[in-house]
Amino acid sequence: MSMQTSTRRRFLAFSSVSLATGLSGCSSSLFRAEDDPSRSDPSTESTKSETQPRAAENDYTAVYRETISSVVLVQTETGRGTGFQYDEDHVVTNAHVVGNAETAQLRYSDGTWSDGSVRGTDAHSDLAVIRAESMPDSARPLSFVADTPVVG
């Protein structure tokens, strides 16, 4: 895979995640305002939520609130992306995010960082598993649907 293709895929992945987050009406993120040195003092900024009542929670916002504690930022020397907490010790992400790295840094939605070791990758399914050294109490494994969803 050429570097141009890899860069294009990263751009498309980042763009689709950004668009989905923006469309879902979510105002929270893995990155808090105090982590961004380019932002001005938040106490002096007027926000839209101060002047308008909060809109009713929609389905996307409800899903976001239910799953954000499972979302993990994965960062290696060669890549950066997101993953989800699978169980008490493991995070699942994309294989192209970890590349050939043996270790990764994990950031949870509460801002906590942890180191992790890449346990395995599968290039064909583009999946990788990372074993976290520690996880914050606020992190929760992502729940999976046990039954076949109803169509309709």
Domain ranges of the chain: 3-35+57-132
- Smallest Cα–Cα separation from 72: which of 88, 59, 91? 91
State CA 80 to chain mean position distance.
Answer: 10
**Where is pLDDT greater, at 109 or 147?**
109
**Residues near 134 by beta carbon (within 8 Å), at least 6 away in sequence:** 114
- CATH class assigned to 3-35+57-132: mainly beta
Confidence of residue 110 (pLDDT cuts 50, 70, 90): very high
Instruction: Return the pLDDT at 104.
Output: 97
Span 114-122, average pLDDT: 96
